[in-house]
Structure formats: structure tokens, C-alpha cells
Amino acid sequence: MATNPTPSPGSGVANFPLPRNLLQDDERRPWIAALPDIVKELSDRWSIEEVGDPFQPGGQSAWVAPVRLGDDLDLALKIAWRHTEAAHEAAGLRVWDGEGAVKLHASATPGDSIALLIERCIPGTNLGGRPEVDQDVVIAELLHRLWGAQPSGPFRPLQLMCDQWADEFEVKVEAGMGRLDRGLARDGIELFRSLPATADRRVLLCTDLHAENVLTAQREPWLVIDPKPYVGDPTYDAVQHMLNCEERLTADPRGLSFRMADLLAVDSERLMLWLFARCVQESPESPMLGEVARRIAPS
């Protein structure tokens, strides 16, 4: 692990290493400028002795770097700006307690940030390098484990997220985005709103589980990172992985849906409805998903 001394208070961001993707977010410049002081504060609080360069290229919502504590424990420090999706990541990791996901060692909310001290995945290669049919199996096995936890805590219902995304979709359509037939768009987004209420089972969901959020580790072969927990229909949790499998999704969306339903032991027709609704919801930014939605629309 390449290491740097922890920054001194007020040292500024000029010589502070940043992930490339975070540098692209001009709206977060004030938050980025505060990162050296936040890292210093957390290093003092959690007895962090060494801070490595952030993982590259990184994401657009968080600064994440390897760190070493005084007891020679290798962990990762994640500092995210406060946003809706990150609200309950720490709570979810506490509930899962390492069962299929990285372990949480500590959390804090300094200023406008959410900070997590988490298990570091070594070697940390993501699942995206494996063939997609192998990814299917790993994703399904991890979801089964995550769903086994009792969803006690501050978690929001999936209905809330779907309603928010549906509202955003309708604004985009009114602004002229997207090419879907209005009737198909209406049917899809109405289904997106109604599906959460008809689930016969509710579990603690990851909601953003795909190959890039699954890493190789020493404690277990694969561990989930960056969950965005909600409580709701487990069938929904398969969809993000499917959306990331673009070639198979466009070639045979029904075949992919049936395969994932079988691996997850969920109803295949219900998974098809979720996939259709989510493709409609994503279609303003993705014409490809709009075409998939047309092909799998309920008759």
C-alpha cells in the first residue's frame, strides 16, 4: 500500500490525491476542498496511522482509500458527500455484519459527509472481469445471503425510491426526453409505482448490486461493497445486474430474466415485470433500454 502522511489541518487540497472520477464533479468543489481536514479529523478519531492514495478511477460521490491503523489492521476509509442513496449504507453493513458484504468497523458524519471505516478487500479485483454467466451465479449467491438478514433499523421502503424515480421520469418525459410511445411509458411507470406494494415478501435489499460492486477478498472469495439499502421486494434486487449485462439483455431479455429468476428462486413473470418497468424508467437516458422495454412489454 502506497502511503502518505495524514494531512495537517488547513493544508488544502492542492497536494491531496483525488480519484479521477471525483475530479469531474465541479458542483462538489467546496466539499472536495474540505476533504484534507476531514481525513485528518477521522485519522485522529480512529487512530489511523497511514493513508494510501485513493482507489482509481473511483466514483463520483465518494473518496475511498486504503488505510492502516495502529494495530497494523488494513482497512478502507470511505468519505461520501451526503446524498439520498448513501443515507443508510452504514446501517445496512451493520445488519449484514460481514455476511456477504464488507464489514463495517466504524462510521461518522463529519459536516456534510458520511464516513465509513470498512474492511478492505484484498486483492480487490471486481467481478466484472469474469464471464457474465459466472457473474450470475455469484450475484445470486450473494443476494440470497443478504436477504437472510432481519431488516431492522432505519431503512426506507422500496416504494419510496420507486415513487421518487417515477416522479423524475415523468418530469423528463414532459421535458421531451425519451422516445417511448406515451402509452407504453405510462404503463411502465405505473407498474414501477405499483409493484412494490404487491410483494409477498420484504427483505433488506442492496438495490445496486452489479459486478463492479463485488470484489475479491481474503476473508471470502467475493464481498459486496457500496450497498444502497432499502426494504422491499427481493425480486427487484436482480434487475441492476441484468441492466449491466447489455449484450445478453438486448439479445435475449426473456432468457436472461428466466435464468436469474431460477438462480434466485423468485417468480420469473414478476421479474419480467420489474425488468420492463425499470427499462421504461431508465429509457430517457438509454434508448437501448427503451427498445428492450418495447420487446418485453406485458401483452
**pLDDT score for 153:** 84
pLDDT at 282 exceeding the cut of 50: yes
Contacts of 117 (CB under 8 A, 6+ apart): 42, 46, 67, 75, 76, 77, 78, 104, 105, 106, 107
pLDDT at 202 exceeding the cut of 90: yes
Quote the percentage of the chain above a pLDDT of 70.
95
Report how far residue 247's alpha carbon sits from residue 249's, in angstroms, rounded to the nearest whole number. 5
**Position 47 confidence tier, pLDDT thresholds 50, 70, 90:** very high
* Helix, strand, or coil (residue 217): coil
* Helix, strand, or coil (residue 66): strand
**Position 14 confidence tier, pLDDT thresholds 50, 70, 90:** low
Whether residue 188 contacts residue 272, with contact meaning beta carbons closer than 8 Å, is answered with no
Q: Higher-confidence residue: 26 or 17?
A: 17
Q: Higher-confidence residue: 292 or 16?
A: 292
Intra-chain end-to-end CA distance of the chain, in Å? 55
Query: Crossing angle, helix 287-296 and helix 182-194, to 10 degrees?
Result: 80
Q: How many CA atoms lie within 13 A of 213 on its CB side?
A: 19
pLDDT at 248 exceeding the cut of 80: yes
**pLDDT score for 26:** 73
Total residues belonging to the chain: 299
Q: Which of 74-83, 232-241, 245-254 has the lowest mean pLDDT?
A: 74-83
**Position 166 confidence tier, pLDDT thresholds 50, 70, 90:** very high
pLDDT at 182 exceeding the cut of 70: yes
pLDDT at 213 exceeding the cut of 80: yes
**pLDDT score for 75:** 96
**pLDDT score for 6:** 54
**Position 12 confidence tier, pLDDT thresholds 50, 70, 90:** low
Contacts of 4 (CB under 8 A, 6+ apart): 17, 50, 51, 52, 53
Q: Which of 27-31, 121-125, 172-176, 269-273 has the lowest mean pLDDT?
A: 27-31
Determine how β-strand 48-52 pairs with β-strand 3-4.
Answer: antiparallel
pLDDT at 4 exceeding the cut of 60: no
pLDDT at 10 exceeding the cut of 60: no
What is the tens place of the pLDDT at every residue in 231-242?
999 999 999 999
Report how far residue 131's alpha carbon sits from residue 140's, in angstroms, rounded to the nearest whole number. 15
Ranges assigned E (strand) in the chain: 3-4, 48-52, 62-69, 74-81, 104-108, 113-119, 203-205, 214-216, 222-224, 230-232
Q: Higher-confidence residue: 13 or 52?
A: 52
**Position 11 confidence tier, pLDDT thresholds 50, 70, 90:** very low
**Position 86 confidence tier, pLDDT thresholds 50, 70, 90:** confident
Q: Higher-confidence residue: 8 or 86?
A: 86
**Smallest Cα–Cα separation from 215: which of 117, 139, 137?**
139
For residues 183-193, average pLDDT: 97
